[in-house]
Amino acid sequence: MDRRSFFRRAAGKTTEVVVKELDKKIEARAAHWIRPPFALDELDFLLACTRCNACIEACPEQIIFPLSARLGADVVSTPALDLSNKGCRLCEGWPCVQACEPHALKIPETDEEKPAELWPRLAYITINTETCLPYSGPECGACGPVCKVEGALVWDRERPSINFSHCTGCAMCREVCVVTPSAISVKSLYSVNPK
């Protein structure tokens, strides 16, 4: 290996280490918010998003908002989901995704023989069995009819539980929960499953 090749290889490895560290820091910060449907991984999302607000304007439910966050020395506004009071309707045609020209929100391509699941992963949903009514005796079931994803909400003896391999984290169940505060909590995917 000649000297030029050695330095080129060393620079490549150094760049790779720096990008991995930056990616970890950005994802740690992303644990505090939830991105719109089909958002790229956080670092790729931040690099692709032009902050045009097209997805915010396209959201019929008005649950996408401009999140101000510090990125290095700059404060930037990028789109995030507010699932604290309303759920994502998983709209037909994905208007927020269709409005995203730089493809920071991008539906994965599918293989015709093995079609990809067309539900995005938005957030991590949990049910507090201490406050969920069916766990203490009274019947409820308010969350059952609103779940659009087959197999995401599982019922055992009239008690709901979340099937994490199917649940999108849309938070529709949280929106209709009759308990105050809600027995259903929503967290960023990065807060529970960091890469």
CA-nearest of 121, 124, 120 to 185 is 124
CA-nearest of 191, 156, 181 to 84 is 181
pTM, 2 dp: 0.80
- Write out pLDDT tens, residues 22-57: 556 666 676 789 999 999 998 899 889 999 999 999
- Write out pLDDT tens, residues 93-128: 999 999 999 999 999 887 665 554 578 999 999 999
